[in-house]
Amino acid sequence: MANLKQRILEDGKVFPNNVLKVDSFLNHQIDPSVISDIADKIIAHYQGREITKIVTVEASGIAPSIIIAEKLGVPMVFAKKQQPSTLKDQAVYGSKVHSYTKDTDSFVIISKQYLSPDDKVLIIDDFLANGEAAMGLIDIVNQAQAEVVGVGICIEKSFQDGRQRILDAGVDLYSEVRIASLANSKVEFAEGH
C-alpha cells in the first residue's frame, strides 16, 4: 500500500509530546513504494523549476531525498550533524538546529564544495514540526548564495509552527500529508498540501 495517509492510519503510532512514530515504513524500516509515491507528488509540485540539487539533513531525510534525486537525475547532499575532522570550519556552511524529537541542539554543516550560487535547491525532510531543520537548511543554502526552490515534506504537523515560519521566509512549501491534530492519540488530517 503506497498511499501515505492510509499507511499513517494503519501503522502510525502517536507518542507523548505530539510525536508520530512511523518507523515501520518511513524512517527506520523503509517501504520504498511509499517513498516513491511521495517523491512523485513532490516532484510534480516543483515541476519546471529546474532543480539542480536536493538538500536534507541526516538521518531520516536521506531516504526520501535520494529517491527524489534519483528521479530528477540530480545530486543529493545531506547536512551532517557532526563535523568530520577532514572538514575545517572555513570549508563548511553551518547552522544551529534544535531537534524536536531529541530536545538537543546540533550545528549542522554542509561542505562548501557541494553548494554553489548556481544551484537551485529543493530542501526535503520526513517531518515538519517547528521548522528548525528546514530553517537551518534554508540558512545554509542562503549562505551559499544558491536559490531555495522550496521545501518538500512527507508529513507536516500543521498544529506546530514550521509551516508559518517557512511561508514567512517566502519559501514555497509542499507537504504530502498535513496533520491537523494528534490529540487523544488520534490522527486527524488537514486539507491541502
If the CB atoms of residues 82 and 145 are measured against ligand 5GP, the closer one turns out to be 82
If the CB atoms of residues 51 and 137 are measured against ligand 5GP, the closer one turns out to be 137
How many other CB atoms sit within 10 Å of the CB of residue 110? 23
β-strand pairing of 76-79 with 53-57: parallel
27 annotated as belonging to a binding site for a ligand: yes
Scanning 21-29, 31-39, 63-71, 84-92 for contacts with ligand 5GP by CB under 6 A, the matching segment is 21-29
Question: Which residues from 34-63 bind ligand 5GP, rule CB under 6 A?
Answer: 60
142 annotated as belonging to a binding site for a ligand: no
Out of 2, 5, 11, 19, name the contact with ligand 5GP by CB under 6 A: 19
188 annotated as belonging to a binding site for a ligand: no
If the CB atoms of residues 116 and 164 are measured against ligand 5GP, the closer one turns out to be 164
3 annotated as belonging to a binding site for a ligand: no
17 annotated as belonging to a binding site for a ligand: no
Burial (Cβ within 10 Å: 0-12, 13-18, ≥19) of residue 102: exposed
How many other CB atoms sit within 10 Å of the CB of residue 39? 25
| Structural contact between residues 139 and 133, judged by C-beta atoms closer than 8 angstroms | no
Binding mask 66-105 for ligand 5GP (x = CB under 6 A): ----------------------------------xx----
Residue 167 C-beta: closest distance to ligand 5GP, Å: 14
Question: Which residues from 146-185 bind ligand 5GP, rule CB under 6 A?
Answer: 162
Binding mask 113-152 for ligand 5GP (x = CB under 6 A): ------------xxxxxxxxxx------------------
If the CB atoms of residues 14 and 112 are measured against ligand 5GP, the closer one turns out to be 14
Return residues touching ligand 5GP (CB under 6 A): 19-22, 27, 60, 100-101, 125-134, 162
